[in-house]
Structure 1
C-alpha cells in the first residue's frame, strides 16, 4: 500500500502550481481546456512527489521525473499524453525559473513512443452525403451553416464556438479565426459555406440572441461545444454513414482533401493554424495512402491480375 502524500497547510507544491496557472490564464490568456490539462498533469506529479516526501518542487530531480513517467507508461498512458505531461512540467519549471534559478528536472527526458494513429477522415463522397441535410427550419439552417463552415475552413471546435458575427466578411468570402494562444488568422470560405452562412444570418435574429455569438441556441445564448458535438452525432445517424462523426474529423477531412488536391503542405499548415509544420505532416501519410491506392489500381505493372480458373 502506498503511503499517504505528505501535505500541510503550507503546501508549497499547490502554491507554485496555482501561481503558474494564474500567469498562464492572465498573461498568456490560454484556453480553459489547456489550463485544465496543465493543472491535471502538474497535480499528478505533485501527488507523486508528496508520496516520496518531496514537499517542494525545487527538490524534485531528473530521476523523479523519469520514474514518474515510467510509472504512467506502465499504467497504460499513451505516448501523446506522456509527452504532454512532460511539456507541462517543462513549462511549469520554466516559469518558476523566472523568479530566479535554472532547475528543470524535465529537461532531456523523452516520452516512450507510442503507436502513431492516423486521424480518421471521410472521403469526398461520404462528406457530400454528410453535408446534404434536408430541411428549412431554423435549427437545420443553423446546423447546415455549422457543418459547411467546419469543412470549408478546417476549424477547430473551440474556434467555431468562439466566433462572433463581426468575424465574418461574407461579401469577400473571409473569416477571422482566433486559434490556440489567442493567435488570429484570416481564412477563405467556400461558396457552399457562404450560401449556408448567409441563410443562417438571415434567420439568426429569430432566436433573440443576448450576445453577438455567431452560433446561438434556441435560448439565444452562445452554442457550446457539447451542443455542437451532439448535433453532429445526430446527423451521423440521420445521414446513414455508419460511424460517429465528430468536429475534428471534419477538420481532418478538410486537411486531407486540401493536401490531396494541392500538394501544398505549407498552405495547409497556414490554413489549419499549426505553429509547427511537423504537426501538419501527419496528413502526408493520409495522402500517400490515397496515392498508393491510385497506383495499385492504375499502374500496368502494379495491377494484380485475377488468377485464371483451372479447366474442369
Structure 2
C-alpha cells in the first residue's frame, strides 16, 4: 500500500473511529502532509527505521523546536501503530527506533500583580471616561476588559475562553463550564463582584440574553478568535508602555503563581487549570524566586539565632 493511501485510511480512522476534534485533526493533517511530501512514492511496508532517522534529521535541519519534533513524531508513530494493528504492516518501524529528545526546561513567564494592575487600571479609567455608552467602541472596550479579567480570574487557556459558549456560563453566579484538552470538562467560578458586574454589563451590551453561540464576540458578532484575543492584549500592552511582551497565556501563569503565593494547595490549582498530571502544575512552585526570597528572609528559623556580639 502506498503511503498516500495509508494516510487517507488513517485520517478516516482518526475522524470517525477515534472521534478526534477538528483542531486535533487539522494539526494531524499538517504533520502527515509534511511526512508524505518526503516519502510520497514509498510503500508503507518499505519505510524502515533508517527512513525515520532521516526524517528526524530533516526536522532538526529545519530548526524545529524539540517540542515540535516530538509532536510530529508522535503523529507519525500513531500512523504506524494503526497500520500495524490493522495488519497492513508486520512491524511498526518505530519499535526499532531510539531517539532521545530532551526539551530544555522553561519556566512559565508570568505577570506580577503590579503589572496586571497597571493594565486593568488603564482600561477601567478609559472606560469611565468614555462619554457614549452605546457606541461600538465602548462595547468592544468592555469586551476587552472582561476578556482580560476572565483570563486572570479563571486561569483558562485562551482557546478555552475563545470557544466558550453562552450556555456554558451562568451570568448570575459566574459559574463556567470549561471543555479543556481532550474534551475534559471542569467547572470554575468567577467570584469577584467587579468582574461579575462587568460580565452582566457585557451580556446586556451585546444583547446575549436567551441567545446561543459563542460568548465572546468581535465587532462582526462572530467568535472572538484566539488570534483576535492575542492582538487585543498586544494593543493594550503597547498603550500602557509595558516593559515586557504580554500574551494571554501569561495571565494563566499569573493565576497559578499568585494563588500559590497565597498558600493555595497545588492540587486545587491543578484542578482549576485542568492539568492531567500534578507534575505539570508543580512547575509553578519554581517560578517566583522573589517570593521565595521573601519567605526565606522572613520565615526561616535561622533569623532567631545570633552569634555576633
> TM-score, normalised to structure 2's length?
0.81
Q: What does residue 204 of structure 2 align with?
A: 202
Preserved contact between residue 166 and residue 211 of structure 2 (Cα < 8 Å): no
| Aligned-pair Cα RMSD in Å | 2.9
Preserved contact between residue 17 and residue 39 of structure 1 (Cα < 8 Å): no
Deviation of 1:111 after TM superposition, in Å, equals 4.1
Deviation of 1:159 after TM superposition, in Å, equals 0.9
Q: What does residue 5 of structure 1 align with?
A: none
Task: Within 5 Å, give how 1:41-52 maps onto structure 2.
Answer: 41-50=31-40
| Aligned mates of 1:90, 1:151 — CA distance in 2 | 37
Preserved contact between residue 215 and residue 222 of structure 1 (Cα < 8 Å): yes
| Aligned mates of 2:84, 2:177 — CA distance in 1 | 36
Q: What does residue 149 of structure 1 align with?
A: 150
| Aligned mates of 1:111, 1:183 — CA distance in 2 | 30
| Aligned mates of 2:252, 2:44 — CA distance in 1 | 39
Task: Within 5 Å, give how 1:142-221 maps onto structure 2.
Answer: 142-191=143-192, 192-205=194-207, 212-221=213-222
| Aligned length in residues | 287
1:221–1:249 CA distance, 2 compared to 1 (3 A): same
**1:284-307: CA deviation from partner (whole Å, max 9, x where unpaired):** 2214x24433257556979xxxxx
Q: Which of 114, 117, 123 is the aligned partner of 1:125? A: 114
Q: What does residue 91 of structure 2 align with?
A: 103
14-23 vs 195-204, which deviates more? Answer: 14-23
Deviation of 1:93 after TM superposition, in Å, equals 2.2
1:171–1:205 CA distance, 2 compared to 1 (3 A): closer
SS in 1 for 2:262: helix
Q: Which of 35, 39, 59 is the aligned partner of 2:25? A: 35
Q: What does residue 5 of structure 2 align with?
A: 15
SS in 2 for 1:187: strand
| Aligned mates of 1:68, 1:268 — CA distance in 2 | 39
Deviation of 1:30 after TM superposition, in Å, equals 3.5
**1:111-155: CA deviation from partner (whole Å, max 9, x where unpaired):** 432422222110111112222313152111111111111111111
Deviation of 1:175 after TM superposition, in Å, equals 0.4
Deviation of 1:258 after TM superposition, in Å, equals 2.1
1:229–1:167 CA distance, 2 compared to 1 (3 A): same
Task: Name which structure has the greater RCO, CA cutoff 8 Å, separation 6+.
Answer: 2
SS in 1 for 2:93: coil
Preserved contact between residue 29 and residue 181 of structure 1 (Cα < 8 Å): no
* Structure 2 gap segments, 5+ residues each: 131-137, 304-309
Q: Confirm or deny that 1:89 pairs with 2:76.
A: yes
Q: Confirm or deny that 1:231 pairs with 2:232.
A: yes
* Structure 1 gap segments, 5+ residues each: 1-10, 303-312
Q: Which of 41, 44, 52 is the aligned partner of 1:57? A: 44
**1:249-271: CA deviation from partner (whole Å, max 9, x where unpaired):** 11122122223323522222221
> TM-score, normalised to structure 1's length?
0.80
Preserved contact between residue 167 and residue 212 of structure 2 (Cα < 8 Å): no
Q: What does residue 256 of structure 2 align with?
A: 255
SS in 2 for 1:262: coil
1:28–1:236 CA distance, 2 compared to 1 (3 A): farther
